[in-house]
Amino acid sequence: MLRADAKQAEVAQGFLQAASDLAPTLPGAELVSVYAPVPLPVARVAGVERMQMLVESASRPALQHFLAAWVPALHGLRRSGAHKVLRWAIDVDPLAI
């Protein structure tokens, strides 16, 4: 699960969409499914909008290989300044979706 927090929901959604657009170019992407961004069940906390995007694979090694390439790309995406997210996080094996 990739989560993004921002002052506006559109900014968080934009970051997640950009992350989704990067996914097909990464190693192992053919074995990974990336779903559309959605708000969390409690979408707004302390003035911060929260969105999430599910990423799954039937193969744990394929998912780990994909994440190893995706994480640096996500750091680069945030550093580019195009997406003003406050923070983002990946939760592997989330307890709740």
Q: What is the residue-wise DSSP string for 33-72?
A: EEPPPEEEEEEEETTEEEEEE-EE-S-HHHHHHHHHHHHH
Q: How confident is the prediction along the chain (97 residues), in pLDDT tens digits per residue? A: 999 999 998 999 999 999 999 999 888 889 999 999 998 877 777 888 899 999 999 999 999 999 999 999 999 887 876 668 888 999 987 766 6
pLDDT at 28: 84
